[in-house]
Each structure stands twice: as structure tokens, then as C-alpha cells.
Structure 1
Amino acid sequence: MKIAFFSALLLASQSCFAQPAAAPAALQDPAVLKRVAEDYLRAQNAGLSGEVSVTAGPVNQRMSLASCPAPQAFQQPGARTSGKTTVGVRCTAPVAWTVYIQAQVSVVTDYVATAVPLVQGQTIEQSQLVLLKGDIGTMPNGVVTDMAQALGRTSTMSIASGTPLRLDALRGKPVVQQGQLVRVVSSGNGFRVSAEARAIGNASDGQVVQVRTPAGAILSGVAKAGGMVEVVF
């Protein structure tokens, strides 16, 4: 009887101190991360005309990520938002983690291509251009999508016929030319003055150009339309 009594007492004490097993931590649904990445890329391309389609690749299934209530998508500075690209998705709370997802973004729209070969320094006219439709996501960054962006500019390199035109291959008309008498406008904290100077080089709108004042001082400023150079102190 004593043995039976002590056995029952031991079982009762064990049941009193037994702790329930901890519930396993909830894991992040990979489908949610794909959706976050795709929504981010759609937003980045929302201002483009044409048909935009986004497909995010699979999330690494070997990663066990804690569930996140508000995952945030991001990209590294300078990363492409079209074509083949990579989007990061991160969580800051309750557990910090980051995962990278590859994606393919197709943007089918009109773009400008050369109808004839262009030589370096040639001024571009409408008859030398043609409007085509295609996926600019497969092309280099900066493809021209509006002829008005190219007309009157000059090519910085020779370009073969049928080549998509890029903004970095174009130079605007000079608004300031070497030897030209220009109006230099200087501004700063609480003041604004202007004076005449002579341009040392050529520059299109928005480019930096050097000028020489009547006193011989050399200043650098930003060329503006109308023969004006803006110098900010």
C-alpha cells in the first residue's frame, strides 16, 4: 500500500510541474513576399505608357523566415526597375530579416529608333527617326520614348540604322557658345546680382560652363536658355 501511495504521489507531482510544449513560430508565406515585390515594381513603372507586366521569381524555400506583419520592398540605388532585376524585401519587427527576389518586368510601349544611320555630331531631324513598339525592358536604360526628346539635338556617337535611341547618346543645342557674351546671375543667402562675362566653352541647357569676367576672374556656373549662366555661392 505504501508503494502504491508513493507512486501516485510521484505521478501527481510530475503532472503539476509539467509545462505545455511551446507552439512553433509562424513562418512567412513566400507568396506574400512575391506579391510585395511585384506590387513595388508595378508602382515604380506606373508612370510609363504601355503594357507593364511583372513576374517575380521563387523565394528560396530553404530560408525559414519568421512571419512579418508588414514586409517592405526596396532596391539598391541605381538598380533597374524594368527588364531583369532584383528586389529586396525586408522585415524590421518582430524579427529582422531580408530576402532578395529576382523579377522580370516587361514594358511594351512605343520607342524611338533611327531610320537612317547617324554620324557623330549630326543634328537630328524627324525624317531620321521612326517610332516602333517593343519591350523596352530588354533594352538599355534611357531609351527615348518621345520624338520631341530627340529633335534638334545632336548625336554624341555614330549610330546604325534601326538602333533604339538613348538619351545619353544625345546632346542638346548649345545655349551658351564659346566667346559669347553672357549674363552671369549670382545668388546666395539674401542677395542676387548679375553681370556680364564671356563664355570659355560651349554648353547646353543645364550643363556646367566656365566664364571669364571683365576683371579676369574665372567662374563656373550652370548654362541656361537665353545666354544666361547661373552661379550659386
Structure 2
Amino acid sequence: MLTRLAWLALEVKYLEPAQRFYAETLEMDVRDGREERTRESGEANGDALTFAAGETDLVLRRPTGVPRGGLHTHFAFSIPAAEYDDWWDRLSERYDGDLKETQFGAAKSLYLYDPDGNCVELGQRDVDGPGIDGVFEVVLEVESLERAESFYADLGFETVDRGSERRRVRMNGPESMDLALELWEPQLGIADARGGVHVDLGFEVEGEVPTQVLEAVRDGVRSVERETDERVVVRDPDGHFLTFTD
């Protein structure tokens, strides 16, 4: 069973402006020595940075190998509910009207863009903080909702919502994982966000070896990039990279 989102990787054109955005604007800490577990190619340290988003790694990666990381990915960071107003006040001074806000029941989210065009959401969640403390949503662009929904259902995700005006499906991960995947056919969403293409996601597995997870979806993957008892890397039907690791 998938138990945790271990990493989300994004492609960045230049590391320095991306680092300033995540380290200074979003006040995230750099993790040392973590990129090697997310990449098969053994890239040089100067080609990637890894930030701490709670227990999840946010990897920023220059396009020097495969997997590259996602382009124009929309994803959501968890922040403590009580910190939301402070985040809004501080970021609105810097972005001067470019922030967007949406209410989801009792919770609010704000939206802004990083230097590489990824739509970053900061949403009120029941987390300890301080600051960013997890990734609770990732949006993937898919060619066929039905095919993608079936594939992720086989990985233990459950459909909880469907779009009435837009072709989208929201799926929650297994109970132990505070993560939702939004599957979108090509479109613009809130704050003109788009689903990511060739997104690279890593999942930890508990209670079974990664090869057992592979067997649940083998018929639906585009390709198997690596297969060992400790680590399986596949491409889903739309070309997104998924790693299952113990």
C-alpha cells in the first residue's frame, strides 16, 4: 500500500531564481544529500536542489536528464490554518494584486506562480507548521480521464469528486496518505493553473514490496524503467514518472 508522498519534482530553467522563490519567498529549508534517491541518472549536485515540505521533498531539477520533473504543475502546500492571514498579508505586498484566493468550505487557499510557471497553492490544513508542512494536492494533465482514473484506482486512490463544467476527477490517496491527485484533461483551472506534464512523483510503500505494487498496475503502465525489490520506477499512461520505494 502507498503510505506517503516522498517527493514531487519540478523542472526549472535556472536554479538561482527558483531557489530564491522557495527559500526566501516561501521560507523553505534546503535538504542536503536527498536528490540521489529521486533520480536514476546520477546527475551532478549543481543540477538540482531539494527543499523540505514537511515529510515530502520538493525537488527542483534542471533539464539535464530523465526524469526531468514536471512542467507548469499545479500543486498545493499545507500551511497551518492560523498562519493563513500572515501569509496573505506578506505575499500580497510583494505580488501586488497577483495573488488569487479561493474558499473551500471553512478553508482558504491562496495561489501564486513560481519563476518557472508552476501554480503554487498555500492551503489551510490541520498541520503543525510552522510554515509549509506538506504537499496535499498535485494536478496531473491526462489525455483520458477514464483511463487515468482506472490506473490510479488500482494504486489505491479513491474518486471523491468530478467536475461538472470541466473534465476533471479528484482522487484521495489511501487513508494513511494526506494527498489528493487531481486529474485534468487539458484546461485552465483556478488562477489559470494547468495540470503538470511529465511530473515525477515518489511514493513510499508499506506492508508489501514495490514489485507487488507494480503487479497491480503492470498492464496499465506505459513503461517499466526499473524493477527491483527495493525500488520500482514506471511511467503512467500519460508519461508521468512514478517511483515506488520501501
Give TM-score scaled by structure 1 length: 0.20
Give TM-score scaled by structure 2 length: 0.19
**Whose helix proportion is higher, 1 or 2?**
2
